[in-house]
Amino acid sequence: MNETRKTQLLEKLLPPVVALLVAIVVGDFLILTFGQSPAAVYRLLLEGTWGNAYGIGQVLYKATTLTFTGLAVALGIRAGLFNIGGEGQLAAGGFVAALIGLALPAATPAIFGILLCTIGAAAGGGAVGAVPGWLRARFGAHEVITTIMLNFVVLALLGWVVSAKIHVPESLHTPEIRTGAVTRLSDIMPVFHGSAANLTLLVALATAGAVSWYLFKTRRGYELRAVGLQPDAAEYGGVDVAGVRWRALAISGALAGMGGINFVLGYKRYYEEGFATGAGFLGIAVALVGGNSPLGIVIAALLFATLSQGGLAVNALVPKQMVDVLQAVVILAVATAVPAVRHSIRASAKSVARSLVRKTPLDAPTPEVGK
């Protein structure tokens, strides 16, 4: 029993580690082609991220958004659904949070303001996620198509509303919210001065915990995972499969939408067009590397945030895009390493099995019964 658990753990941990190693090796070659020393570049990358309080703050800030979008993708995948609509859901969540922050009277107690804005962000993202959910349940329209197309619709719509109705002149953002601002890390610990990190990261951690609880401890989570693994068996088990899919996409959208508060409530305190471009899509990579488990997603979000912040830090030596390439290599390596690693682990188990077989001589005569 212990042995199988060890194998399972190995199967989970090895792919991201192998992927990271592959990315580092590929990175070495890239850096060499720019005539730089890999050691120097990697040192700079680490110093610019984990080497000082500002860097750490920026990594934490970016990891916060990625945790939300990663959780959104993972919850979908657990239900057997691929939500690629994170971009639009994230933007919609941020926008609704900003609207509520603008609409509430300035005297609203901070805790209520934050709560209402966060609920609004979840509702905004959830509404965007619910549309493909409904289309899937009602018409069987595939969510990969509908979620990705909805990104364009939502972003264009928000762009029009902001620029036509509520933007501050000469800018692409709304006025500052009147309530709902989340405390920045630098307000508590001045050493983080200048970084965008804020207490939304606690909300992200709590959300990761809540998603974990929902998936693995509740009846609805049990049913959701059953639908993702074997929809026919779930149906047999009395689960409303279409309803679960619908709900899962709505919740997935709500999780992505909550990511919007990191920027809107915690950092700039207004909604700005394109505030999180790419974070929705990067959530897919975070979920993949994190193995669709909430804890894994938090760690993977930190990894991708480090790479993304590190890109800025190494810009003096190599182009920032080199780090984008590294991110892509990590994703590709995980995507290939997952089956490859699993296969090699199974193969070693197989050779063990075969050696067991060989203990019984192959050419031993078969008994002749009934003679």
Partner 1 sequence: MSAARVPDVSATPVAVRMTGIVKTFGETIANRGASLEVKRGEIHALVGENGAGKSTLMRILSGMYAADAGSMEVETASGELRDVTGWNTAEAIDAGVGMVHQHFMLVPPLTVAENVVLGREPKRGVTIDRRAAEQSVADLSARSGLVVPPTAKVADLSVGEAQRVEILKALYRGAKILILDEPTAVLSPPEVTQLWDVLRKLRADGGTIILITHKLDEVMDVSDAITVMRAGETVARLRTSETTPRDIARAMVGRDVALALDAAGTAAPSGAAAPNGAPLLELRSVRVDSPRRARVVNDVSLTVAAGEIVGIAGVEGNGQTELIEAIAGLTPLSGGEIRIAGADASRLTVRGRGDAGLSHVPEDRHRRGLVLDYSIADNLILGQQHRFARRAQLDVARIDEHARRRVAEFDIRPANPQLPARALSGGNQQKIVIAREMGRDFQVLLAAQPTRGVDVGAIEFIHDRLRRARSEGKAVLLVSADLAEVLALSDRIAVMYGGKIVTVLPRSEASAEVLGPYMTGAAGVAMRGAGAA
Site residues (CB under 8 A) for partner 1? 1, 4, 217-220, 222-223, 225-226, 229-230, 232-238, 240, 346, 349-350, 353-354, 357, 360-364, 366-371
| Closer of 218 and 321 to partner 1 (Cβ) | 218
Q: How far is the CB of 222 from partner 1 (least distance, A)?
A: 5
| Closer of 111 and 369 to partner 1 (Cβ) | 369
d(CA 226, CA 80): 9
Nearest to 60 by CA among 186, 190, 234: 186
Q: How far is the CB of 344 from partner 1 (least distance, A)?
A: 12
What is the phi/psi pair of residue 326, to 5°? -60, -45
| Closer of 163 and 348 to partner 1 (Cβ) | 348
| Closer of 181 and 226 to partner 1 (Cβ) | 226
Q: How far is the CB of 177 from partner 1 (least distance, A)?
A: 33
How many other CB atoms sit within 10 Å of the CB of residue 92? 28
Q: How far is the CB of 261 from partner 1 (least distance, A)?
A: 25
Token pair, residue 122, equals 């979840």
d(CA 10, CA 7): 5
| Closer of 141 and 353 to partner 1 (Cβ) | 353
Q: How far is the CB of 336 from partner 1 (least distance, A)?
A: 20
Residue 327 CA, chain-centre distance (Å), reads 14
- Residue pair 178/106 in contact (Cβ under 8 Å)? The answer is yes
Q: How far is the CB of 348 from partner 1 (least distance, A)?
A: 11
- Within 13 A of 194's CA, how many CA atoms are on the CB side? 6
d(CA 129, CA 81): 12
| Closer of 106 and 360 to partner 1 (Cβ) | 360
Task: Give the list of residues 6+ apart from residue 295 with CB closer than 8 angstroms, or none.
Answer: 208, 212
